[in-house]
Chains A and B, each alone.
Chain A
């Protein structure tokens, strides 16, 4: 052991003896566990999947595939991770059948129906404080409405700050579905989630897929706007078929 290392050890021991073992801790890098979405191109772009114990955000307008990806993550959490799935349904508009089509098991699914966005934040806060392990989908944050109400925006920022350590401890996956305003401002940066989220994906509806006269699905382009544990900037094209 070098002289410098020995001095460091002695200093740490002395500090811990004087101020307690929790006063000084060694920094360590732990690998982040990921939960795959089960959609291979997306998982490749995300270097494995959505990180556990972190926030992720799925941005886009309707019919772009955010719900499907979120539902697939819930199903993967139930199947691979043996975790419970929670769906915070702010708009009281969840399609249970669509969740089942994506592979979500109903016996391990709870749907939270808050009275509004403020109540949704409170319920999610309680959920995370109970320390339960699971995958949570927060459907949804409406960007234009949030900007109109600065009080809720402030509350969301405060909640995200409080949830960061809770989420890290419980190793849950928390996905936010965010409704973006119409183009050209498709990727808003004013939201607090832009800085708190580990992964931000922008979904853009490309085309409807049809077989004859019948619409059987849609194609979307997903851009990795931010990825704290991997490269960002990739774009993948996904085809969502409604079976």
Chain B
């Protein structure tokens, strides 16, 4: 997230056409080079990018948008505004020849747009039309009490968005990566030995995943080998399954198959596991308390931000065999 002192600017990027999950991950990786926080919504096929303060690095917001669109390398629409809703609408209503649209003020940008863009129920839309409202600006001019009286509490959020008050933050994703490397004492050219080494490296990298490791589906496996002549051999493959030995071995053998033709020894080999999700059929292992825990983490973070961090504590088991109770368990101030 950008510094709170900077004005809130959020970009919404909608890549054109249907995207495979691998392409989506690739675009997300690219966008992370241009912003500290990138939130992907694979269901809606779009990205939200925290763009606060980035115009200072790229002269202007338009320049930054052009740079990002060029880096994505595929047709896409980009909208830039102060909130997520305005950014999304800016991306949806962008002119095809420019590819991007910058909304300086959310409320004035949204005002002339038709009401149907707002997330209102069909009944609420009908009532607003009966009352003679046709644009978001007209709806934004209402007072919140009027919205509550006429449309009920379910429409208050849409009213706030219409007024340009969309406080939803960009939830930047954490980069999920586990890697392991090995340097051979003498250049290794035998296929079987390389395969055995890469399988062991993959198992070593898997130890970085939260337990139980077999319950995760690895998205992408990347292999890197430094050859004797200094060249770097890279292969990447989509796995999308639990990293069981019987799955990993043929995959790595296939990736190393291309190396066999090079006819050269390998000095160093590395394995990188990128991104993981709960594997099919294993969710029960992983979702045991994960929802409650994530919610608790968020609550504690907000509490620690508002009150002093010393007021929010978590307990740890220090040494189960210690003679004194105070030595067995300890309290520490909460930190994410």
Give residues in A with beta carbon < 8 Å to B. Answer: 19-23, 78, 82-84, 95-97, 99-100, 105-115, 119, 122-123, 126-127, 130, 132-134
0/1 string, B182-224, CB within 8 A of A gives 1: 0000000000000000000000000000000000000000000
B315–A111 touching, CB < 8 Å: yes
Given that A19-B149, A20-B150, A22-B153 are known contacts, is A83 also in contact with B292, CB under 8 Å in the complex? yes
Give residues in B with beta carbon < 8 Å to A. Answer: 123, 148-153, 288-289, 291-293, 295-296, 298-300, 302-303, 306-307, 310-317, 325, 328-329, 331, 334
A110–B300 touching, CB < 8 Å: yes
A132 interface neighbour in B123, B299, B315, Cβ under 8 Å: B299
With most chain B CB atoms within 10 A of its CB, the pick from A95, A106, A113, A122 is: A113
A112–B313 touching, CB < 8 Å: yes
A123–B311 touching, CB < 8 Å: yes
- Complex CA gap A152/B155 in Å reads 37
Given that A109-B314, A112-B303 are known contacts, is A133 also in contact with B292, CB under 8 Å in the complex? yes
Given that A19-B149, A123-B303 are known contacts, is A96 also in contact with B293, CB under 8 Å in the complex? no
B313 interface neighbour in A21, A23, A105, A110, Cβ under 8 Å: A110
Chain B residue at minimum C-beta to C-beta distance from A122:
B307
A96 interface neighbour in B151, B299, B302, B315, Cβ under 8 Å: B315
Chain B residue at minimum C-beta to C-beta distance from A79:
B289
- Please give, as numbers and ranges, the residues of chain B lying within 8 Å of A96 by CB-CB distance: 315, 329, 331
Given that A84-B299, A123-B303, A130-B299 are known contacts, is A114 also in contact with B311, CB under 8 Å in the complex? yes
5 pairs of A and B residues whose beta carbons are closest in the complex: A22-B152, A84-B296, A96-B329, A132-B299, A111-B313
- Complex CA gap A134/B297 in Å reads 12
B310–A113 touching, CB < 8 Å: yes
B299–A106 touching, CB < 8 Å: no
- Complex CA gap A115/B307 in Å reads 10
- Complex CA gap A158/B317 in Å reads 38
Tell me the minimal C-beta distance from B328 to chain A in angstroms: 6
- Please give, as numbers and ranges, the residues of chain A lying within 8 Å of B329 by CB-CB distance: 96-97, 100, 106
- Please give, as numbers and ranges, the residues of chain A lying within 8 Å of B296 by CB-CB distance: 84, 108, 110, 132, 134
- Complex CA gap A127/B298 in Å reads 11
- Please give, as numbers and ranges, the residues of chain B lying within 8 Å of A113 by CB-CB distance: 310-313
- Complex CA gap A126/B299 in Å reads 9
